[in-house]
Amino acid sequence: MTDAGADSGWFESVPPGDLGAARKAIENGTAETPKDWPTKAVESGFAEDKEEYYEKLHQATVYAAREAAEEEERADDQQLKHSIRAMDDTERTANELAERLEEWAGALLDVEADATGLDFAAVVADREPEDATEERAISLAQRAIDLRDERDDLRTFIERRAPEVAPNLAEMAGAVLAARLISLAGGLESLAKMPSGTVQVLGAEDALFAHLRGHAPSPKHGVIFTHEFVNGTPLEDRGSASRALAGKLSIAARIDHYSGDRRASVHEDLRERMATIRARADETTEGDDE
């Protein structure tokens, strides 16, 4: 509906066949009360009958939904999601190829090097093949190194883009962890709407489900364990550190999604909270030593 008048419908001022205009009318139109829109559409000449009206409405709503989905997928946070997943995929595949290469080329090429994994692949990739078998092994090494380089390029892209997409989250978590949290949540908006307790265990779904089935203790953290505020805190205080970090990460995600401005206060609050947790841990350690 539009606000052109009490009896206007979403189809008012929509040129026939203009799905873009129909989408805008459906998404932005309003009406104070419901009306018999099919009848009014016929009376206004928008459709010959009610069947045609519903057909045009169906076409317009499907088009609107498709366009909205494509816009969502092109959004910057979705590009971060795909980038971090691609980075993980390239790293995993490169390591798997390097492991296979060690089994294959270790004896075949008689490589005199203490290197393993991708370092070993880099040594092999520089060799000159002497026969068809060596050519294939060296080619495999080169593919592994190409994937390693692609992983590094993706990380560089993430480190550049994350602060633009989610400035507070990227500053607080680091670009890679921020992108990983956005990926696990499905997007920045979804992350912003999550309670801090859910953010705390993102990435620990298997452990959480095992806990819910009664087979394991409740996980204290998920991927946020990679943050220095968690893994750098004594084991007995990691639960407190994880909760504090998850709480501030949730706030940072909400600020980034709903306003986008940098808030120094939320970062200072986190640093003060972590200083308190660690001071408490130090006091406990000193007491145990006495």
Give pLDDT tens digits for 67-78.
776 666 656 899
Which of 179, 276, 200 has the alpha carbon at shortest distance from 242?
200
Tell me if 1 is assigned to some domain: no
- pLDDT for position 72: 63
Among the residue ranges 39-43, 55-59, 114-118, 214-218, the one predicted with the least confidence is 214-218
Name the residue with higher pLDDT: 43 or 289: 43
Residues 201 and 278 in one domain: yes
Residues 46 and 103 in one domain: no
Band of pLDDT at residue 1, cut at 50, 70 and 90: very low
Tell me if 7 is assigned to some domain: no
Residues 157 and 178 in one domain: no
Mean per-residue pLDDT for 68-97?
87
Which of 176, 173, 155 has the alpha carbon at shortest distance from 230?
173
- pLDDT for position 121: 94
| Alpha-carbon dihedral 227, 232, 238, 240, rounded to 10 degrees | -80
Residues 121 and 67 in one domain: no
Find all residues with CB under 8 Å of 185, minimum gap 6, and list them.
191, 194, 199, 202
pTM recorded for the entire structure: 0.73
- Decide which of 121, 141, 164 is a domain's last residue: 164
Mean per-residue pLDDT for 80-84?
95
Residues 290 and 173 in one domain: yes
Name the residue with higher pLDDT: 34 or 39: 39
pLDDT at 139 over 70: yes
Burial of residue 158 (number of CB atoms within 10 Å: 0-12, 13-18, 19+): buried
Band of pLDDT at residue 19, cut at 50, 70 and 90: confident
pLDDT at 4 over 50: no
- pLDDT for position 124: 93
Query: Which amino acid is present at 277?
Result: I
Residue 46 CA to residue 79 CA, distance in Å, equals 40
The backbone region for 158, taken as left when phi is positive above 0, alpha when psi lies in -120 to 50, beta otherwise, is: alpha
Please give the residue range of the domain that contains residue 175. 166-290
Which of 12, 7, 56 has the alpha carbon at shortest distance from 33?
7
Among the residue ranges 24-28, 121-125, 188-192, 207-211, the one predicted with the least confidence is 207-211
List the Cα angle 198/200/201 in 5-degree steps: 75
Residues 198 and 262 in one domain: yes
